[in-house]
Amino acid sequence: MNVFNQLSIWLSFQLSIIFLIGIPITLFFWSIKKRNKAVNKLLSIYWKISPLFFISLLLLIGKYNYALVITNISTLLMTISVWFWNDINDELKEYNLSYALTTMTKVWRWSLTFISLNFLIQSLRNFNCFSFVNSAACEIWLQPSSNLYNIIKNLFNFLFGANFTQPIAKFLGLFSLLIFTLGLIQWSIIKLPKNGRNSCFSENEGN
């Protein structure tokens, strides 16, 4: 059962590379080429939220005890960010299945939702890891971030001639989390009450 659990978590992180990074990048440049403001705006919003997932990976590298909580919050916020906007949802409904860009965008939104739920289910199966990811039972959650750690470590050494350590990853993760949280609070206080669930994509092309 532990082997199956480990394989499932590893697969979840591998799929996240495709659906959280690869496909959104493709859709973003595709929307620019097609000059589809609704999809472009949707992806622009998504890219403002998605850094929280990478922050959670830094925290996993730094073995921050609540890193798994941040991971689940990040996937939840990313999912909300692609379903939240009434004007974008209404615009996407206007296109039929033959329009490949919006069809792929819809498929991607559902895939992102599935990945978010999968992360949550996997995490709940290891509930103690929400508050103490450093325990031996939670090691399976730290392993997927080890490859990223090696990449950043080599890049950090190449650029700065210094070692990238787990305490540095933890510090950068927590500092970035603070900045992200402040930005989210600012948006919630200023822009959300003003615009509500309207993304204003038709008023601000390119935003």
Domain boundaries, the chain: 2-195
Name every residue whose Cβ is closer than 8 Å to that of residue 94 and which is 6 or more positions away in sequence. Answer: none
Q: Which residues of 11-37 are buried (b: 16+ CB within 10 A; e: fewer)?
A: ebbeebeebbeebbeebbebbeeeebb
Taking 50 as the threshold, does the pLDDT of residue 46 lie above it? yes
- Per-residue pLDDT, averaged over 139-151, amounts to 77
The secondary structure of 9-49 as a DSSP string is HHHHHHHHHIIIIIHHHHHHHHHHHHT-HHHHHHHHHHHHH
CA gap 81, 199 in Å, rounded: 10
- Higher-confidence position of 156 and 87: 87
Tell me what pLDDT residue 1 has: 45
- Per-residue pLDDT, averaged over 47-67, amounts to 92
Taking 60 as the threshold, does the pLDDT of residue 205 lie above it? no
Report residue 9 as tokens. Answer: 């978590």
Helix 51-61 to helix 146-160 angle (10° resolution) is 90
Query: For a pLDDT cut of 90, what percent of the chain falls above it?
Result: 55
- Per-residue pLDDT, averaged over 152-156, amounts to 77
- Per-residue pLDDT, averaged over 167-193, amounts to 94
CA gap 85, 42 in Å, rounded: 8
CA gap 105, 49 in Å, rounded: 17
Tell me what pLDDT residue 144 has: 73
